[in-house]
Amino acid sequence: MSKNFKCWPPQWPKYLNYPNRPVHMFLEDTAQRVPNRIAIHFGGMVLTYGELKALVDRFAAALAGLGIQKGERFAIHLPNMPQFAIAYYAVMKIGAVFTPLSPLMSPREITHQLNDSGAKNLLTLDLLYPGIASVIPETPIERIITTSIGDCYNAVIAPLKPIGKLPVPDTLDMAELIKNNQPAPPAVEINADKDLAHLAYTGGTTGVSKGVMLTHKNVVSNTFQFGCWLNGAQLDIQKEKVELIYPEGIDPAKDRPVVRDKEIALVVVPWFHAMGTIGYLNQMVSGGTTMVVFPRFDPVEYIEAVNKFSATTLGGAPQLYVPLVNMPGFEKYDLSKIKLIASGAAPLPLTVLVSMRKSFLKSVVIEAYGLTECSMGAISNPPIPALTKVGSVGMPVADTECKVVDPNTGAELLPGQVGEICIKGPQVMRGYWNRPEATAEVLKDGWLYTGDIGKEDEDGYFFITDRIKDMIIYKGYNVYPRELEEILFNHPAVEMCAVIGKPDDRAGEIPVAFVKLLAGQQATAEELIEFVNLQVAAYKKLREVIFKDMIPVSAAGKVLKRELRDQIARMR
C-alpha cells in the first residue's frame, strides 16, 4: 500500500531536500547565522553558539593533534553538560565515530560495549571514572580524557558553586586540551553517505547489546525530518548553509509551533540516548534553540525553570511528566509560554495526557515513535492540536514509509489489522556492527523490521499495541529481560526463571522475576534481587521476585510470558 496522506498537515512538505553534509554542519550553520544567541544554559554557565563553536574547534584540534584518526570510535561517558556537546561535535568534525556510554551502566556493561566497539578513546567524568577504572585494562582503551563539572565555573563563581575538581591520575585533562589548542582543526573529508557518525548501542530479544551503525546521512536526515515536522518548512540547500522555505503567505511566528532561532527548550533527555542525541542536541542546535541543560531530573527544579528561562518547549519520556502533574502545587505554575510538549520512548498514559492538556492549555502535546535502528524516530503526531490523535504515535514523517506485516508470513496487512511495524526511510541504520546475521534478521529489502506490534488506521495514524521483543521500558530506558535472566541463571539456587515487566504508574514498568528454585536449594527474594542488581545499571534493577513451583512453557520449551503477565494482572 502507498503512504496515506489523508490527514497530512496542510502546506507541510511531504518530501525534503537533504544537504549532503556531515553532522557538525548543524553547529557550523547556526554559529554563522546567530553567533551571539545563547546555545547552552548550565547551572549558571552560559555559552553562545559562537563560543560553543570555538570550543568545539579547539577540542577537535586537540583530538587531531593526539593522533585520533577518521573512523576511530570515541566513547563519551558523560551526563548532560556542556562538555558533552563540545566533545560530540569535535568528534564529528574529525571524522571519528561517536559511541555513547550511559553513566548508569555497570562496569560489566561498559566492558562489553568498549570491547565490542573497539573504542580506543574515552572521555569520562572525574566523578564517574573511579567506578569503571578497574575494567579499563580489559578493554582496547588507550587514551582517557577526563573532565569535571567544576570546569564549568571560573574562580569568581566558585564560592557560589563549590564543586571541586577531582584529580584523575594517568588521564588527559579536557580543559587543558581546549586551552592549549587554537580553534583551527584540520579539514577532514567526510562522505556523508558512507562514513559512520554514530555507533550507538541497543539490545535485542536475546539481551545482547548490539552496535547500531548510523552514517552522517542517517543522522542529518532524521534531524531535519523532525525539525521540519515541527516548523513545517522545506529546506533550501545553498553552498554554505541551509535555509528554511515556507509557503507563500505563511508567517512562521504566527503559523508554526516552532520558529528557528527563537525557541528555548528545557533539556533533561540524556544526550547519550538516541532521542537525546538527535532530538535534544542536533535538532536543537540545527534550529538555533537555546538549551537549558540538566544533568538529572528534579521535578521542582525543572518546572521552576519554565518561568526562570521563559521556556517554550518541553520534551522527554512519559516518566518525566508523571511526577510533574502529580507534584503538589503544580497547578499554580504559569505554563502559558509553553507551545510544544513532546513525549517519546514509551507510551504516554492516557490519564497523564489528560492532566497535561488541562495544565498546558496553550500547548500542543504530541507523542512520537522510533528506535535507535532508525536513528531516533519515524512516526509522530502532527504539531497541530486538531490533527493529534489520542492513543496514537502519529503518522510517518517526511520521506518515511511504514507498513504493518503478518509476523509469521510477512504479508502486508490492511488498516486495522495488527502485526509487526516496519520502517523505510533515509534514517534507517546501515546495520549492526560486526553482526551480519543479526542485521539480516531486521533489514529486509530496505525495510527495518522493528519487532514492535501495532496497527495503522484508515487515516494513516499508527498505534503501538504490543512488543514482539519482551523489552521492559523503565522510566523511558530499555531493559532487556534476557540479560537479567542470564544473571539469575548463574545463581546456584535457581533452576528456571523468567523476567517480565510489571505495569507501574510512576515508572511505566518495573522488572519482576518469576523463579523456580532447584530442589533442595533455598534463597530469599532479597538475596536474588541483590545478586542481580550488583551486576546491572540502576535502571535495570530487579524490583521483585515471585517464587513458583513451575514456570509455564510451550511444547517447544519457550517460556509463556503472556501467562506470567496475566498472573501479574490478576495480582493487581
The better pLDDT of the pair 134, 453 is held by 134
Could you identify the residue written with the cell 554542519? 25
Q: What pLDDT score was predicted for residue 555?
A: 39
291 pLDDT band, cuts 50/70/90, is very high
How far apart, in whole angstroms, are the C-alpha atoms of residue 196 and residue 199? 7
204 pLDDT band, cuts 50/70/90, is very low
Has residue 203 got a pLDDT over 60?
no
How far apart, in whole angstroms, are the C-alpha atoms of residue 476 and residue 104? 13
Q: Report the percent of the chain where pLDDT is more than 70.
A: 94
Residue 110 one-letter amino acid: I
Residue 29 one-letter amino acid: D
Which of 124-138, 257-271, 322-336, 375-389 is predicted least confidently? 322-336
pLDDT tens readout for residues 391-441: 899 999 999 999 999 988 999 999 999 889 999 999 999 999 999 999 999
**Mean pLDDT within 264-270:** 95
pLDDT tens readout for residues 522-547: 999 999 999 999 999 999 999 999 99
- Rounded to a whole number, what is the distance in angstroms from the first to the last CA of the chain? 41
Q: For residues 305, 311, 317 and 318, what is the CA-based torsion angle, rounded to 10 degrees?
A: 80
Q: What pLDDT score was predicted for residue 418?
A: 87
Quote the radius of gyration of the chain (alpha carbons, Å): 24
DSSP letter assigned to residue 501? E
Beta bridge partners of 395: 380
Residue 433 one-letter amino acid: W
Could you identify the residue written with the cell 518495573? 510
Strands (E), 370-418: 379-380, 395-396, 401-405
**Spatial CA neighbour of 52 closest among 15, 81, 95:** 81
How far apart, in whole angstroms, are the C-alpha atoms of residue 99 and residue 435? 17
Q: What pLDDT score was predicted for residue 439?
A: 97
- pTM of the predicted protein model: 0.85
Annotate 275-306 with DSSP letters as a single string: IIIIIIIIHHHHTTPEEEE-SS--HHHHHHHH
The grid coordinates of residue 461 equal 495514524
Which of 184-198, 357-371, 378-392 is predicted least confidently? 357-371
- Residue 123: phi and psi, rounded to 5, are -110, 125
CA-CA-CA-CA torsion sign (494, 499, 505, 507): positive
550 pLDDT band, cuts 50/70/90, is confident
How far apart, in whole angstroms, are the C-alpha atoms of residue 74 and residue 72? 6
Percent helix / strand / coil, the chain, rounded to 5: 30, 25, 45
The better pLDDT of the pair 83, 362 is held by 83
151 near 42, Cβ under 8 Å? no
Residue 32 — left, alpha, or beta (φ > 0 → left; ψ -120 to 50 → alpha)? alpha
- Mean pLDDT is highest, among 148-162, 414-428, 453-467, 468-482, for 414-428
How far apart, in whole angstroms, are the C-alpha atoms of residue 499 and residue 11? 47
How far apart, in whole angstroms, are the C-alpha atoms of residue 18 and residue 222? 10
Which of 54-58, 80-84, 481-485 is predicted least confidently? 481-485
Residue 176: alpha-carbon gap to chain centroid: 30
The better pLDDT of the pair 442, 152 is held by 442
CATH architecture type of domain 472-571: 2-Layer Sandwich (3.30)
Q: Which residues contact 260 (CB under 8 A, 6 or more apart)?
A: 231, 233, 244, 252, 287, 288
The better pLDDT of the pair 125, 165 is held by 125
The grid coordinates of residue 497 equal 526463571
Which of 45-59, 303-317, 329-343, 539-553 is predicted least confidently? 329-343
Q: What pLDDT score was predicted for residue 522?
A: 93
Could you identify the residue written with the cell 548508569? 104
Beta bridge partners of 123: 76, 145
Which of 52-56, 99-103, 342-346, 493-497 is predicted least confidently? 342-346
Please name the fold of domain 25-432.
Rossmann fold (3.40.50)
Q: What pLDDT score was predicted for residue 329?
A: 83
**535: number of Cβ within 10 Å:** 17
Residue 390 one-letter amino acid: V
Has residue 219 got a pLDDT over 60?
yes
215 near 22, Cβ under 8 Å? no
**Spatial CA neighbour of 234 closest among 24, 398, 378, 384:** 398
**Average pLDDT taken over every residue of the chain:** 91
**Mean pLDDT within 102-128:** 94
Has residue 101 got a pLDDT over 60?
yes
Q: For residues 477, 535, 81 and 141, what is the CA-based torsion angle, rounded to 10 degrees?
A: -120
**Mean pLDDT within 146-168:** 78
465 near 418, Cβ under 8 Å? yes
**Mean pLDDT within 191-195:** 97
**Mean pLDDT within 448-453:** 91
Has residue 326 got a pLDDT over 80?
no
Has residue 456 got a pLDDT over 90?
yes
**564: number of Cβ within 10 Å:** 21
- Mean pLDDT is highest, among 134-138, 316-320, 560-564, for 134-138
DSSP letter assigned to residue 87? H
How far apart, in whole angstroms, are the C-alpha atoms of residue 171 and residue 37? 34
**In the chain, where the domains are located:** 25-432, 472-571
**Spatial CA neighbour of 111 closest among 90, 85, 138:** 138
Has residue 557 got a pLDDT over 60?
no
